[in-house]
Amino acid sequence: MDTRQLAAFCTVVERRSFSQAAERLGVTQPAVSLQVRALEERFGQRLLDRSGRRVEPTEAGTRLYRNARRLLQLEEQLLEDVAAADGAGLTGTLAIGASTGPGAHLVPLLLCEFQRGHEELHVSLSIWDTHAVSERVAEREVELGVVGARRRHRSLAFEPLARDEIVLAVPPAHPAAGGTLAADDLRDETLIVMQEGAGVRQVVEEELRRAGLKLRGLDPKLELGLQESVKSAVAAGYGVAFISRTAIEGELAAGTLAAARVAGIEPSRQLYVVRARGRPPSRAAEAFLAFARERLG
């Protein structure tokens, strides 16, 4: 069986689009259509439903996708093993997903430094929320994920990677910038929070409860989704917000944001690597994790 046809089919299923699949594979859209049509002729069944706004796999297509992914991964592993036996350098693509906290600063810089030492390796980083990262790892669209919370999922394995400090982001001219703010003084601040379900918000709520406070009791006036909108609002002087330090390293270095501590509150969280259970790791993934752990030591 021509694995190029399977790769084209799987990419269409994952991207829900022939044009996006073609862009991902670096070929023309007609070439992808021909590969999929050849598969459908071989199996004698329609594998994709093209009638809606997005391309969706049929029942037969879903079964083929699951098994084709396994076959493609075995082929990848075979190539990896042969390359390792020859002492060859890292090649191919390392596809990683990261949630918005570690994906803002920590993971991109690690990947850039890692790729510099492996010039033949192509690195692809996608940013989603924690739930989406986990799902894409489970569906094997990306090999690794870096997230700020564990999920119960029988197809996934989570491994600790690093601790992530959560700080109070304040405008650079704020009196507490670089210093400490009393917990009771939070009531006098315009507190900006992330949306319900955000990992950082959950950690902060738990830490506030330990200190005898409740987030609602601080009367946050602004709930602005996830961290990019929160960072922008704080930098513009509209309030203060608890946020992952790894997410604002760039702003701290540039001086557009400052960090403060809140007395008696020391929120932090564990960052995790998430992998699909039963998926043999590629040499690139193993090498990157070893590199990241050494750097984050």
Residue 170 Rama label (left phi>0; alpha psi -120 to 50; beta): beta
Both structure tokens of 292: 């990241």
Contact status, residue 5 vs residue 32, Cβ threshold 8 Å:
no
Q: How far apart are CA 183 and CA 172, in angstroms?
A: 20
Long-range pairs for 81-87: beta carbons < 8 A, 24 or more residues apart: 83/283, 84/283
CATH number for the domain spanning 228: value is 3.40.190.10
Domain termination residue (choose one: 41, 59, 88): 88
Q: How far apart are CA 14 and CA 65, in angstroms?
A: 9
Domain termination residue (choose one: 88, 108, 138): 88
Single-letter amino acid code for the residue at 176: A
List alpha helices for the chain, DSSP H.
3-15, 18-25, 29-43, 59-85, 100-104, 106-116, 130-138, 199-210, 227-235, 249-254, 283-296
What is the chain's pLDDT, residue by residue, as a tens digit (297 residues)? Answer: 688 899 899 999 988 899 999 988 889 999 999 999 999 999 999 999 988 888 999 999 999 998 888 888 777 767 666 665 555 678 888 999 998 888 888 999 999 999 999 998 999 999 988 888 999 999 888 999 999 888 888 899 999 999 999 999 999 999 999 999 998 899 899 999 988 767 788 888 888 898 888 888 888 989 998 788 999 999 999 999 999 898 898 899 999 999 999 998 988 989 999 999 988 888 899 999 999 999 997
Q: Identify whether 120 is part of a domain.
A: no
Task: Give the per-residue pLDDT at 213.
Answer: 87
Q: Is the pTM of this model over 0.75?
A: no
Q: Identify whether 33 is part of a domain.
A: yes
Q: Identify whether 79 is part of a domain.
A: yes
Q: Identify whether 138 is part of a domain.
A: no
Q: Identify whether 95 is part of a domain.
A: no
Helix/strand/coil for 13: helix
Both structure tokens of 89: 């350098």
Task: Give the per-residue pLDDT at 84.
Answer: 58
Domain extent for 174:
164-268
168 shares a domain with 84: no
Domain termination residue (choose one: 36, 67, 88): 88
Q: Identify whether 119 is part of a domain.
A: no
Task: Give the per-residue pLDDT at 83.
Answer: 60
Q: Which residues contact 98 (CB under 8 A, 6 or more apart)?
A: 107, 125, 126, 127, 133, 145, 146, 147
Q: How many domains does the chain have?
A: 2
Contact status, residue 242 vs residue 192, Cβ threshold 8 Å:
no
Q: Identify whether 114 is part of a domain.
A: no
Task: Give the per-residue pLDDT at 87.
Answer: 58
